[in-house]
A and B are shown apart, each in its own frame.
Chain A
Amino acid sequence: MTKTMEFKGRCLCGEVAFEGEAPDEPISTCHCKQCRQWGSGPFDAYSLPLKNLQFTAGEDAVKYYESSDFARRGFCSKCGSNLFWHADRHPQWKDRISIAVGALEQQLA
């Protein structure tokens, strides 16, 4: 059995909220210029199967921007929080989504 973790997240203004349970996998950090242009610095992402993500509030407040031929980026239209990177038109990756780690509830250092 793969170890799983429960997660909960929300944007800065609280309009958009989501939760789920997914395999407990390490976070990765993307340093590409697109990610840095989007969120000031590297994008800290938690990747999981798309089906494991459930919205609990404000799904309609998420706006998507098509940042490439194969991917889109979701953000809160009210507060601008960077929320998701989703390669929705990529044959191998479309069933996964990367969530901005900063949106997740977590222990402080």
Chain B
Amino acid sequence: MYGEVGMSDLKIYKGKCLCGEVSFKAEAPKKEVGLCHCTMCRRWNSGPFHALAVPFDALKVESGEENISYYRSSDYARRAFCSNCGSSLFYHGDKIPEIAHEVYFSAGLLEEPTGLKMAGHIFCASKGDYYEIEGDLPQHETV
């Protein structure tokens, strides 16, 4: 699904929402950014969800925990957003055993430059009709 690189290559991620109330820090394996084109992600974000897999345990909320709202978007997953500004924070498949240990964190929250690269695209079969997926990165029909 999202890009895998060497587990030993740890990186410090820092990010915050648009209003700045919610901020995060994580020390986690360096990953690449994946784009999800599913209808749910696009409804949530206006376009594809740009996400980075971070272990749930590694994600530390530095401020504004009380502003994090969760919306259960399916039986198996929840989406976190800032209740003050509406920034998308992360997707967590908390009821999916294979991925419950990680969250897909919004890449837009990260301090720049991020030094990250894009891994590829998932759920391309449900992409919007107003754009094409460009480039040579892998495109998966579903995951």
Contacts and interface: CB of A to CB of B under 8 A. Distances in A.
A44 interface: yes
Q: Is the interface of A mostly helix, strand, loop or mixed?
A: mixed
A80 B86 contact: yes
A58 to B, nearest CB: 14
Interface stretch (B1-9, B55-63, B95-103, B125-133): B125-133
A38 B18 contact: yes
A106 B85 contact: no
Contacts of B71: 12-13, 78-80
A74 B85 CA distance: 8
A12 B85 contact: no
A80 B129 CA distance: 23
Q: Is the interface of B mostly helix, strand, loop or mixed?
A: mixed
A35, A63, A65 interface centre (most CB from chain B within 10 Å): A65
Given A67-B18, A82-B88, A44 B127 contact: no
B86 A38 contact: yes
A65 B46 contact: no
B129 A40 contact: no
Given A37-B109, A41-B108, A65-B19, A82 B86 contact: yes
Contacts, number: 144
Contact of A102 (B35, B42, B124): B42
Contact of B35 (A11, A36, A41, A100): A41
A57 interface: no
Contacts of A103: 43, 46
A23 interface: no
B23 to A, nearest CB: 11
Interface string B63-93: 0000001010100000111111111100000
Interface of A: 10-13, 27, 29, 33-45, 63, 65, 67, 73-82, 100-103, 106-109
6 contacts: A38-B85, A39-B108, A41-B108, A75-B85, A100-B46, A108-B129
Closest 5 CB pairs of A and B: A80-B81, A75-B86, A102-B42, A100-B46, A36-B108
